[in-house]
Structure 1
Amino acid sequence: MTRRIAFLASGTDDSSSALQALEAAHGRCKPEEADILVALGGDGFMLQTLHRHGALGKPVFGMKLGTVGFLMNHYRADDLLERLERAEPAVLRPLAMEAQTESGATVHSLAYNEVSLLRQTRQAAHLRIDLNGQPRLDELICDGVMVATPAGSTAYNFSASGPILPLGANVVALTPIAPFRPRRWRGAVLKAGTEVRFKVLDPYKRPVSATADSHEVRDVVEVAIREATDRTVTLLFDPEHNLEERILSEQFVA
């Protein structure tokens, strides 16, 4: 079966060279007209591709030509069509963030990895956490806190001592970053449909920013996070190196 492929490159020398070679072999196609998107770069470029083209609903096959490639397959150009035919899908549902700022603005964004709140100054953030409208933690004093998806749980979340979540487990991780009080609170694993709401308790003296993947909003006073109900994306992986196996393997790395 003939597939229309749109090749997208991160702009590095390696990815640009690969783009030229692949388009010479398979033709050039716009993302809107393609059956499959092939992203050439690292994980950062994959996230950029999902944010830019995720609404098209086209499956994305990534090939690593960047620094980090957890969401990517190995780069090989000679057997691409066969790999696409054999590729296994991983369906991801992003987080939807709604942030209210000190100026009264409301900012919406999506996150395929995590939404994180971080202190903007040398002073620790003071936050309240509500789950589904019910107060759960009256005051968290910390450098920050995040909500991570299973696909993102091996990234920043894991570096902050959060749990690695199995793909398809229908849960998210709520993980503090350098918590000071309560000192022993290590976070929680929540059902994916839970609404997590953070209230900044002292936004003027202790300002906080919110970041959905790479989209930062500064001087937030309240942030609500929930699983997006109207958006999914499909990533394609080589069968021998699929995303579920990668997430599992990360739990056994010393």
Structure 2
Amino acid sequence: MIPQPRMYFTASTSPAATGALDELTRRYGQTPLEEADVIVALGGDGFMLETLHKLKGRNLPVYGMNRGTVGFLMNVFSPEDLPRRLAEAEEEIINPLSMRARTVSGDIREELAINEVSFLRQGAQAARLRIFVDGKLRLEELVCDGAIIATPAGSTAYNYSAHGPILPIGSDVLALTAVAPFRPRRWRGALLPKTAVVRFDVLDPAKRPVMADADGRSVRDVVSVEVLSQPAICHRILFDPGHGLEERLIREQFV
């Protein structure tokens, strides 16, 4: 008999997720977070990201069950035999990006992003961005609706919708993808080493304001943003055997 780990269940506010929370806690109990061996997150991908951000520094694995829509980071929901599924689960380690944004008023805001850091025009006019990589000017001017730096784990999200590449989960690269680029007209983005430090300067921020966003945490009216990977921070995600991120990233390219 497989011993039952100490599980802490958490759920989004959707009826499907709260109903699952009630069912699972009745069946398996609810361990206080401070005493838990594993976190079971019930919801969609957005709730999984929210859970990982809240758990930063706790070094606890998170096993998600899909009670949302897409569920790319989640496992199939079933209340049956959860201790066995947890015992057999495969672990993936994800390192987030850090975003350090400076605003027009001089404020500094720092956030972490598991999926991507994105830049979007705030008004009717296109953004004008200047891009540096490791202190070297790489693109004098990118006129666009925005730009994205995505991790391998986040490469199938907003990055993929903007026609960016899907990155293998074990690759030490980041995807830099333009959103609706106007100039250079045929610029397709870039693949950068995971160690790269990328800086975006906003040209003409008064006339063409830009916001920066790290997994839904937004900073408006930025003038410069620095983005780099944080290998010292590790998020642990559990997947059912044969359904880990590597398999999902490959499968996503053939649908």
Q: Taking structure 2 as the reference length, what is the TM-score of the superposition?
A: 0.97
> What letter corresponds to residue 168 of structure 2 in structure 1?
P
Distance 2:34 2:111 in 1: 22
Q: Distance between the aligned counterparts of 1:31 and 1:97, measured in 2?
A: 28
CA distance in 1, matches of 2:4, 2:142: 55
Contact 2:4–2:83 under 8 Å retained in 1: no
Deviations 1:21-68 (A, max 9, x none): 111121112223211000000001001101111321100000000112
> Could you tell me which amino acid in structure 1 is paired with residue 8 of structure 2?
A
CA RMSD of aligned residues (A): 0.8
Specify the alignment match of 1:120 in structure 2: 122
Report the Cα distance in structure 1 between the residues aligned to 2:34 and 2:207, rounded to whole angstroms: 46
Partner of 2:249: 247
- Measured after TM superposition, the shift of residue 163 of structure 1 is 0.3
Percent identity between the aligned chains?
55
Poorly superposed stretches of 4+, deviation over 6 Å: none
Scaled by the length of structure 1, the TM-score of the pair is: 0.98
> Contact conserved, 2:116 with 2:149, CA < 8 A, in 1?
yes
**Equivalent of 1:135, from 113, 129, 137?**
137
2:169 matched to which residue of 1? 167
Q: Within 2, Cα distance between the matches of 1:181 and 1:31?
A: 50
Number of equivalenced pairs = 253
Kept after mapping to 1: 8 A contact 2:152/2:168 = yes
Partner-residue secondary structure (3-state), 1:47: helix
Rounded Cα–Cα distance in structure 1 between residues aligned with 2:227 and 2:76: 33
Q: Deviations over 1:138-160 (max 9, x none)?
A: 00000000100001000110110
Deviations 1:69-112 (A, max 9, x none): 00000000111110000000110000000000111111000001
Taking the aligned partners of 2:156 and 2:236, their CA distance within structure 1 comes to 18
Other-structure match for 2:67: 65
1:224 pairs with one of 223, 226, 241: 226
Point out where structure 2 has 5 or more consecutive residues left out of the alignment. none
> In structure 2, the residue corresponding to 1:241 is in which secondary structure?
coil
